[in-house]
């Protein structure tokens, strides 16, 4: 390994890539593309579907329909208009009561289902015969509860919204049957607000106890945003390398370079250039994000002590991905082969993204902790867990860092051995077993 040669290769790769239109376009387009998804969701939430929805109710208990419908309608009227904006934020629900067909309930369900398909009805609710007095068979028996039939995917939230007033309605019927004065229903069923608080902490040095503060829900968005940024920069910085190496191999540029520099020097130089590219993007993105938050007086939601960790994780992630990209690119027979290997390359960032919602639910659960210590996943998962309320035990990021450093070295070492063999090999791309053999035996 010669540091000077690594720097010469890195300088060339960095300058040749950052001055391309593709890099500038990618740097500007990536946040727009990624951001437009979130903006799109926000816009769609701001413009909900408010078309009227008709719902049929079949009451097999014979006692609940009118109260349940009245309760839902009352709640619907309450929630229909946003008090601040004065705009309608949800659809108005209209109900029709359908007398139950006790002789052939399946035929009745089929008839109602047919009415749902041409959009006559949005859906229909069937109140089970035992809904007011469930028997010991519990939820397994549909007669003990309510059934909601519709084409609603669940994303629209209708079922979730209906759940509250429907249960409320059933409870009102039960209380009336139990002899409770209807004037007390609202008091008895009224809900209370739940404040989300951080934990109480104690300063170990001074012994002072810091009372819990109300949690800023926006603060949980920051680590998620940082993980998304890590994902975005990784994709933008490492993805072109796979194709570039495969293209250079096709153009046969490496043999002459291998006479002047070792495979490790070449791969290290290329990785360094990729890290440089990613730092260029990230400094710009982080700077822009901080500037924007500051101008919106929201800088307080950012945990500034996470930014150094973000940079460390970014460097580690890019190093691992670009070393893998160099090895896979060198193994490809053509740039087309490289395309098909892209999913393998991006597994270390795609898998954590798929796990984000699970880990946000239980940041310190077994899954989160185990994934934090698997080197390819450490940057994104540990970053997320560190930023979420409660954080992680102090030792975990450091142990993760040690594991990640070992992982980076092992991946770079194996990648340089694969690169050395693969870059001069033509024809059929190697099998995964051959790649392992090259990495082990060189």
Beta bridge partners of 123: 55, 150
Name which of 66 and 262 has its Cβ closer to other proteins.
262
Task: State the nearest-atom distance from the C-beta of 280 to other proteins, in Å.
Answer: 19
The 3-state secondary structure of 14-45, one letter per residue = HHHHHCCHHHHHHHHHHHHHHHHHHHHHHHHH
Name which of 60 and 254 has its Cβ closer to other proteins.
254
Task: State the nearest-atom distance from the C-beta of 336 to other proteins, in Å.
Answer: 19
Question: Could you give the CA distance from residue 324 to residue 14 in angstroms, rounded to a whole number?
Answer: 18
In degrees, to the nearest 5, what angle opens at C-alpha 371 toward C-alphas 369 and 375? Answer: 120
Name which of 117 and 441 has its Cβ closer to other proteins.
441
Name which of 10 and 72 has its Cβ closer to other proteins.
10
Nearest to 248 by CA among 2, 4, 6, 17: 17
User: Residue 264: what are its φ and ψ, rounded to 5°?
Assistant: -65, -40
Name which of 99 and 253 has its Cβ closer to other proteins.
253
Name which of 23 and 309 has its Cβ closer to other proteins.
23
The structure tokens listed for 391 are 């954080």
Name which of 12 and 202 has its Cβ closer to other proteins.
12
Question: Could you give the CA distance from residue 23 to residue 415 in angstroms, rounded to a whole number?
Answer: 25
Give the number of other CB atoms < 10 A from CB of residue 215.
14
Nearest to 133 by CA among 118, 122, 144: 144
Helix or strand (DSSP H, E) at 164:
helix 158-177
Whose tokens are 């867990």? That residue is 385
Name which of 20 and 97 has its Cβ closer to other proteins.
20
Task: State the nearest-atom distance from the C-beta of 8 to other proteins, in Å.
Answer: 5
Helix or strand (DSSP H, E) at 440:
helix 432-441
Contacts with other proteins by CB under 8 A lie at 2, 4-5, 8-9, 12, 16, 248, 251-262, 265, 424
Name which of 133 and 252 has its Cβ closer to other proteins.
252
Task: State the nearest-atom distance from the C-beta of 428 to other proteins, in Å.
Answer: 13
Please tell me what DSSP assigns to residue 180. -
Task: State the nearest-atom distance from the C-beta of 415 to other proteins, in Å.
Answer: 17
Name which of 8 and 355 has its Cβ closer to other proteins.
8
Beta bridge partners of 55: 95, 123
Task: State the nearest-atom distance from the C-beta of 439 to other proteins, in Å.
Answer: 16
Evaluate whether 6 touches 272 at the Cβ level (below 8 Å). yes
Task: State the nearest-atom distance from the C-beta of 259 to other proteins, in Å.
Answer: 4
The structure tokens listed for 163 are 């759940």
The structure tokens listed for 91 are 């659809």
Task: State the nearest-atom distance from the C-beta of 6 to other proteins, in Å.
Answer: 10
Sign of CA pseudo-dihedral 29, 31, 36, 39: negative
Task: State the nearest-atom distance from the C-beta of 15 to other proteins, in Å.
Answer: 9
Whose tokens are 């101008």? That residue is 295
Task: State the nearest-atom distance from the C-beta of 278 to other proteins, in Å.
Answer: 21
The structure tokens listed for 379 are 């940057």
Please tell me what DSSP assigns to residue 201. E
């Amino acid at each position: 390994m010669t540091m000077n040669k690594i720097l010469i290769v890195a300088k060339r790769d960095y300058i040749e890539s950052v001055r391309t239109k593709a890099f500038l376009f990618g740097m500007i387009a990536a946040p727009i593309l990624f951001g437009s998804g979130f903006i799109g969701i926000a816009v769609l939430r701001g413009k909900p579907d408010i078309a009227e929805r008709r719902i049929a109710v079949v009451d097999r208990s014979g006692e609940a329909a009118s109260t349940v419908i009245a309760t839902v309608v009352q709640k619907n009227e309450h929630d229909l208009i946003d008090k601040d904006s004065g705009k309608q934020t949800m659809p108005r629900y209209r109900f029709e009561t359908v007398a139950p067909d006790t002789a052939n309930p399946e035929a009745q369900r089929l008839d109602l289902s047919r009415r749902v398909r041409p959009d006559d009805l949005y859906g229909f609710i069937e109140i089970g015969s035992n809904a007011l007095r469930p028997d010991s068979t519990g939820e397994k028996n549909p007669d003990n509860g309510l059934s909601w039939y519709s084409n609603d995917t669940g994303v629209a939230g209708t079922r979730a919204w209906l759940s509250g007033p429907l249960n409320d309605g059933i409870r009102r019927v039960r209380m009336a049957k139990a002899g409770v004065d209807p004037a007390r229903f609202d008091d008895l069923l009224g809900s209370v607000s739940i404040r989300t608080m951080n934990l109480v902490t104690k300063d170990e040095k001074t012994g002072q106890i810091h009372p819990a503060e109300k949690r800023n829900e926006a603060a949980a968005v920051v680590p998620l945003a940082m993980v998304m940024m890590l994902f975005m920069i990784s994709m933008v910085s490492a993805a072109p390398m796979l194709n570039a190496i495969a293209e250079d191999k096709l153009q046969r540029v490496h043999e002459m370079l291998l006479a002047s520099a070792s495979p490790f020097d070449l791969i290290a130089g290329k990785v360094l250039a990729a890290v440089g590219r990613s730092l260029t993007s990230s400094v710009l993105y982080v700077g822009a994000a901080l500037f924007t938050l500051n101008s919106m007086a929201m800088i307080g939601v950012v945990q500034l002590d996470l930014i150094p960790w973000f940079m460390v994780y970014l460097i580690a992630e890019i190093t691992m991905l670009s070393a893998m990209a160099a090895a896979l690119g060198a193994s490809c027979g053509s740039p087309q082969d490289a395309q098909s290997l892209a999913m393998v390359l991006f597994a270390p960032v795609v898998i954590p993204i798929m796990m984000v919602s699970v880990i946000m639910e239980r940041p310190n659960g077994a899954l989160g902790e185990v994934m934090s210590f698997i080197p390819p996943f450490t940057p994104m998962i540990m970053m997320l867990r560190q930023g979420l309320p409660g954080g992680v035990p102090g030792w975990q990021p450091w142990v993760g860092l040690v594991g990640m450093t070992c992982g980076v070295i092992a991946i770079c070492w194996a990648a340089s051995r694969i690169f050395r063999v693969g870059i001069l090999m033509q024809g059929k791309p190697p099998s995964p077993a051959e790649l392992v053999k090259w990495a082990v035996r060189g």
